[in-house]
């Protein structure tokens, strides 16, 4: 397939590119990127005047739930959801059922990915067997199977020595270590941020200490192992301060936050909406501000969705019994545009850093994109389109978004993955409706696979 | 009765959500309903043909009976469902139970539940009215309304009154609803408990938080004594009920030192010798049984108002 994209404004800091150009794609690769390309052989011409063209985005924190909880999400629906959100490379979290802690389970997962995935799915494994914090997985073997990162996401490894051993082993093997920092003795049976909201609602609170004390410990361990670590879903002011200090001292620590931590505060919980029950919990307005400043100041390296799908019957129940988490792949970018670009907290280049350059760097991947002969993976974005988040519009199998009813800004119009249009807003009727056999019933997308 | 009723809510979920005017309206209507219970024939036809379901997931005699009597005095039909909350996880969900009741064409659900937020969950999933009769540690709106009604009856006003609430504030829905209601009406509220039983940042609700009981009683016009449930005291602040009684119990010795009369309230059921001495509970200053009587009028008012509010809601949906 030959695709010509006309007059899109390309923003790609890794290519030192910020200009209006035409793009010609064939056989999965960029043929040329020029001021003006005339081509009458193209199968598809995308008129991208007024649109922004970005590299396909990367999300370091996604729960795809398969294997085991296909009622919440599958590799198929989760990666379709990614495509719609503009993400063409995602890192799958290993807390599936069974968890990804053995070569056999990695091979199993890889088979499903090969068969069903619309975008690149990178595999992470647990740090400890069954995420129980007792015994390390066989990192060497898992690395050979293609695992790129290790994490006990959802839990933190309590045993200092065990984590230290894991860090040293990961360093030797060149594996990324992603840490969910939570001292469960401190978060206890907490449900929302500890403070005025937990007091008002009569719900058990989770103190910020549960997060930042564990971050403090993990940074110390990283120093001791003389290695790098990545801290995921940073949610509060104290954590940001600790990470800033560590970075200043030269500790090799990177971190991400999720869109809900800079867009929503704990005040959103006053109606007991369990879609906003998330771990770590939504924090105070002051914390939201601190997260925004940390993004602006580069303390926070990237944005990851922590896409956490749950069925309606696990959410629309008593608040204390509802599962933690919100889906995020389809709203992540638009939340960032609305909360960070629109109020001019960050520039578009910075946005691409947060969603592409830094995650690529953390994963040790090639960051250049828009060059002839490179694989053509990109998104075409309407930066001004405002839209309201509705249950029925999600391609994710689950609808548990903390942003339901909110108006966001910026909409992916095309996602091109390895030279193929894998997602297009249906307003474009010229896109070939070459439907994937399993997509019947999925609305408002056109497919080519 | 007031013909221009300014009430648009189908539910009563929390005092925190009510305006001062809405609270005053409930109190006003309650005082006109109070007289009904003194009649020879204790019934008015206000809710004739309506069905009220008491859906209780937690044991409660007092609140359930009070709601049942209130509904019956308004001529409503009443069904009582005592649900076993321990089977909630495996059994029918709260939302499904609510939808089934709605399908039975009932009009009002009075919900008591051990989980904070349960009434909100139910109310947003059904079109019938939901009255929160206590949800977890969150709120118990009608208890606060009857407490405030009683205060207003005794003092004639609320604004400027000094009300002290003593006991396990952390786990108390009665305290939370009272704080909201009283502060919205301009009372000065003080909460008193050991530090471990005071929720964090409670001062942000415009109350004074004090650990010293003598200090908390000093300026009080009224003390609302909460029931102490030691089984909720996970941190084991008090090894025994006697220890609590010594530290925070409301006794005549404590009250006599103040050389003035303080109105004594208690939401019941009483733990004599735990949070209050018998002498105080039975004294002239205690209005504990009047609270019980006033509970009927307040609940009649709430049942009546949500029923009106639901009609407006049905028109707009």
Q: Check residue A325 and give its pLDDT.
A: 98
Q: For residue B312, what is the domain's CATH number?
A: 3.40.50.1370
Chain A residue numbers touching B117 (CB-CB < 8 A): 201, 203, 272, 318-320
Residues 6+ apart with CB under 8 A from B209: B169, B190, B191, B192, B198, B202, B203
**Residue range B194-203: mean pLDDT, rounded:** 95
B75 and B146 in a single domain? The answer is no
B210 and B82 in a single domain? The answer is no
Q: Which of A200, A311, A322 to mutate to test the interface with B (most CBs of B within 10 A)?
A: A200
Inspect the interface and report whether the beta carbons of A203 and B173 lie closer than 8 Å.
no
Which among A14, A46, A27 is positioned nearest to A415, based on CA atoms? A46
Nearest to A194 among B118, B200, B204 (CB): B200
Chain B residue with CA closest to A193: the answer is B200
* Residue A404 covered by a domain: no
A236 and A247 in a single domain? The answer is yes
Q: Check residue A439 and give its pLDDT.
A: 40
- What domain range includes position B110? 15-140+293-316
Q: Give B252 to chain A, closest Cα distance, Å.
A: 32
Does the model's pTM come out above 0.90? yes
A292 and A416 in a single domain? The answer is no
In the structure, what pLDDT confidence band is assigned to residue A427 with cuts at 50, 70 and 90? low
Q: For residue A61, what is the domain's CATH number?
A: 3.20.20.140
Q: Which residues of A are catalytic?
A: 306
Inspect the interface and report whether the beta carbons of B89 and A321 lie closer than 8 Å.
yes
A47 and A66 in a single domain? The answer is no
What's the half-sphere exposure (Cβ side, CA atoms, 13 Å) at A211?
28
Tens digit of each residue's pLDDT (9 = 90 or more) over A83-133: 999 999 999 999 999 999 999 999 999 999 999 999 999 999 999 999 999
CA distance A86 to B288: 63
A36 and A65 in a single domain? The answer is no
Which among B133, B152, B127, B143 is positioned nearest to B59, based on CA atoms? B133
> Any long-range contacts for B240-246 (C-beta under 8 Å, 24+ apart)?
B241/B271, B241/B273, B241/B274, B244/B274, B244/B275, B245/B273, B245/B274, B245/B275, B245/B277
Contact between A168 and A227 (Cβ < 8 Å): yes
Which among A357, A310, A270 is positioned nearest to A89, based on CA atoms? A357
Output the CA–CA distances (angstroms, integers) from residue A167 to A32, A133, A142, A173, in the order listed. Answer: 43, 14, 15, 10
Does A288 have pLDDT greater than 90?
yes
Residue given tokens 């109020």 in the structure block: A343
> Any long-range contacts for A444-447 (C-beta under 8 Å, 24+ apart)?
A444/A393, A445/A80, A445/A84, A445/A395, A446/A421, A447/A422, A447/A423
What's the half-sphere exposure (Cβ side, CA atoms, 13 Å) at B130?
29
* Residue B248 covered by a domain: yes
Q: Give A44 to chain B, closest Cα distance, Å.
A: 46
A271 and A318 in a single domain? The answer is yes
* Residue A277 covered by a domain: yes
* Residue A403 covered by a domain: no
B212 and B240 in a single domain? The answer is yes
A65 and A45 in a single domain? The answer is no
Does A217 have pLDDT greater than 90?
yes
Nearest to A318 among B16, B115, B125 (CB): B115
By the CB < 8 Å criterion, does A196 face chain B? Answer: yes
Output the CA–CA distances (angstroms, integers) from residue A221 to A175, A202, A215, A283, B229, in the order listed. Answer: 16, 37, 10, 27, 44
Nearest to A272 among B120, B199, B204 (CB): B120
Residue given tokens 């009904």 in the structure block: B36
CA distance B178 to A245: 45
Helix (H, G, I), strand (E, B) or coil at B279: helix
CA distance B310 to A271: 19
Inspect the interface and report whether the beta carbons of A200 and B95 lie closer than 8 Å.
no
* Residue A61 covered by a domain: yes
Chain B residue numbers touching A203 (CB-CB < 8 A): 116-117, 136-138
* Residue B7 covered by a domain: no
What total number of domains does chain B contain? Answer: 2
Inspect the interface and report whether the beta carbons of A199 and B120 lie closer than 8 Å.
no
* Residue A390 covered by a domain: no
Write down the mean pLDDT value for chain A. Answer: 94
CA distance B51 to B104: 10
Write down the mean pLDDT value for chain B. Answer: 93
Does B280 have pLDDT greater than 90?
yes
**Residue range A16-33: mean pLDDT, rounded:** 96
* Residue B2 covered by a domain: no
Q: How many residues would you count in chain A? A: 449
Q: Give B12 to chain A, closest Cα distance, Å.
A: 13
Q: Check residue B87 and give its pLDDT.
A: 52
Tens digit of each residue's pLDDT (9 = 90 or more) over B95-116: 999 999 999 999 999 999 999 9
* Residue B77 covered by a domain: yes
B222 and B120 in a single domain? The answer is no
Q: Check residue B90 and give its pLDDT.
A: 61
By the CB < 8 Å criterion, does A268 face chain B? Answer: no
A113 and A222 in a single domain? The answer is yes
Inspect the interface and report whether the beta carbons of B135 and A202 lie closer than 8 Å.
yes
Does A428 have pLDDT greater than 70?
no
Residues β-bridged to residue A30:
A25
Inspect the interface and report whether the beta carbons of B176 and A317 lie closer than 8 Å.
no
By the CB < 8 Å criterion, does A320 face chain B? Answer: yes
Chain A residue numbers touching B139 (CB-CB < 8 A): 202
CA distance A76 to A70: 10
| A87-92/A420-424 β-pairing | unpaired
Burial B19-50 (b: 16+ CB within 10 A, else e): eeebbbbbbebbbebbebbeeeeeebebbeeb
By the CB < 8 Å criterion, does A200 face chain B? Answer: yes
Lookup: tokens for A24:
């010609």
* Residue A395 covered by a domain: no
| B222-225/B263-265 β-pairing | parallel
- What domain range includes position A435? 2-53+371-384+410-439
CA distance A23 to A8: 8
A202 and A235 in a single domain? The answer is yes
B213 and B297 in a single domain? The answer is no
Q: Which of B18, B90, B92, B121 to mutate to test the interface with A (most CBs of A within 10 A)?
A: B121
Q: Check residue B284 and give its pLDDT.
A: 94
By the CB < 8 Å criterion, does A321 face chain B? Answer: yes
Residues β-bridged to residue B139:
B135
Inspect the interface and report whether the beta carbons of A320 and B116 lie closer than 8 Å.
yes
* Residue B62 covered by a domain: yes
Provide the ipTM. 0.94
In the structure, what pLDDT confidence band is assigned to residue A442 with cuts at 50, 70 and 90? very low
Nearest to A272 among B93, B121, B199 (CB): B121
Does B224 have pLDDT greater than 60?
yes
What total number of domains does chain A contain? Answer: 2
CA distance B176 to B139: 6
Taking one residue from A and the other from B, the number of pairs with CB-CB distance under 8 angstroms is 70
Contact between A40 and A83 (Cβ < 8 Å): no
A48 and A77 in a single domain? The answer is no
């Amino acid at each position: 397939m030959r695709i010509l994209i006309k007059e899109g404004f390309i923003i790609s800091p890794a290519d030192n590119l910020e200009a209006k150009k035409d793009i010609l794609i064939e056989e999965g690769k960029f043929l040329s990127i020029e001021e003006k390309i005339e081509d009458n052989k193209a199968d598809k011409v995308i008129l991208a005047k007024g649109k922004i063209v970005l590299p396909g985005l990367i999300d370091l924190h996604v729960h795809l739930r398969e294997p085991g909880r296909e009622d919440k999400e599958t590799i198929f629906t989760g990666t379709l959801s990614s495509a719609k959100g503009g993400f063409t490379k995602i890192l799958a979290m290993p807390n599936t059922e069974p968890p990804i802690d053995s070569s056999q389970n990695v091979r199993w997962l890889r088979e499903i990915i090969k068969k069903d995935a619309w975008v690149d799915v990178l595999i992470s494994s647990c740090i400890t067997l069954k995420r129980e914090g007792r015994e390390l997985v066989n990192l060497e073997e898992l690395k050979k199977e293609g695992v790129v990162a290790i994490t006990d996401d959802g839990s933190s490894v309590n045993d200092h020595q065990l984590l230290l051993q894991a860090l040293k082993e990961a360093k030797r093997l060149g594996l990324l270590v992603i840490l969910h920092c939570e001292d469960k003795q401190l978060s206890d049976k907490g449900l929302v941020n500890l403070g005025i909201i937990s007091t008002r609602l009569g719900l058990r609170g989770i103190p910020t200490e549960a997060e930042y004390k564990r971050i403090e410990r993990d940074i110390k361990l990283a120093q001791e192992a003389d290695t790098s670590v990545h801290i995921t879903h940073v949610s509060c002011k104290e954590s940001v301060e600790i990470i800033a200090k560590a970075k200043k001292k030269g500790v090799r620590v990177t971190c991400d936050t999720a869109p809900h931590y800079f867009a929503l505060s704990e005040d959103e919980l006053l109606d007991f909406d369990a879609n906003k029950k998330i771990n770590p919990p939504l924090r105070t307005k002051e914390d939201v501000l601190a997260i925004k400043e940390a993004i602006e100041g580069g303390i926070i390296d990237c944005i990851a969705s922590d896409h956490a799908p749950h069925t309606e019957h696990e959410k629309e129940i008593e608040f204390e019994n509802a599962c933690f988490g919100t889906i995020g792949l389809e709203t992540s970018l638009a939340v960032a545009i609305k909360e960070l670009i629109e109020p001019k907290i960050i520039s578009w280049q910075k946005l691409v850093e947060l969603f592409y350059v830094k995650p690529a760097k953390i994963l040790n991947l090639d960051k250049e994109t828009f060059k002839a002969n490179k694989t053509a993976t990109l998104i075409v974005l309407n930066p001004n389109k405002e839209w309201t988040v509705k249950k029925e519009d999600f391609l994710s199998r689950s609808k548990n978004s903390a942003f339901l009813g909110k108006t966001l800004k910026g909409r992916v119009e095309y996602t091109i993955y390895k030279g193929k249009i894998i997602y297009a807003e249906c307003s474009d009727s010229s896109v070939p409706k070459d439907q994937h056999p399993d997509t019947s019933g999925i609305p408002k997308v056109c497919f080519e696979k | 009765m007031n013909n221009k009723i300014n009430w648009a809510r189908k539910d009563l979920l929390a005092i925190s959500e009510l305006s001062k005017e809405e609270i005053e309206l409930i109190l006003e209507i309650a005082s006109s309903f109070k007289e009904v219970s003194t009649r020879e024939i204790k019934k008015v036809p206000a809710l004739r043909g309506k069905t009220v379901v008491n859906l209780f997931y937690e044991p409660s005699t007092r609140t359930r009976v009070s709601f049942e009597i209130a509904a019956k005095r308004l001529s409503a039909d009443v069904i009582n469902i005592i649900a076993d909350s321990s089977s909630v996880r495996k059994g029918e969900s709260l939302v499904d139970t609510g939808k089934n009741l709605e399908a039975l064409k009932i009009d009002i659900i009075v919900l008591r539940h051990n989980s904070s937020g349960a009434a909100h969950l139910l109310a947003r999933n059904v079109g019938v009215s939901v009255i929160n009769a206590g949800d977890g540690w969150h709120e118990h709106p009608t208890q606060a309304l009857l407490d405030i009604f009683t205060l207003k009856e005794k003092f004639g006003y609320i604004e400027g009154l000094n009300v002290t609430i003593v006991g396990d504030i952390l786990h108390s829905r009665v305290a939370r609803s009272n704080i909201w209601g009283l502060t919205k009406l301009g009372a000065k509220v003080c909460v008193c408990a050991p530090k471990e039983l005071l929720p964090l940042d409670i001062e942000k609700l415009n109350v004074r938080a004090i650990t010293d009981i003598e200090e908390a009683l000093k300026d009080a016009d009224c003390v609302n004594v909460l029931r102490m449930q030691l089984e909720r005291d996970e941190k084991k602040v008090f090894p025994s009920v006697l220890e609590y009684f010594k530290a925070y119990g409301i006794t005549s010795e404590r009250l006599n030192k103040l050389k003035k009369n303080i109105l004594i309230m208690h939401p019941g059921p009483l733990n004599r010798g735990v949070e209050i001495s018998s002498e105080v509970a039975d004294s002239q200053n205690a209005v504990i049984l009047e609270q019980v009587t006033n509970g009927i009028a307040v609940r009649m008012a709430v049942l009546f108002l949500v029923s009106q509010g639901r009609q407006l809601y049905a028109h707009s949906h």
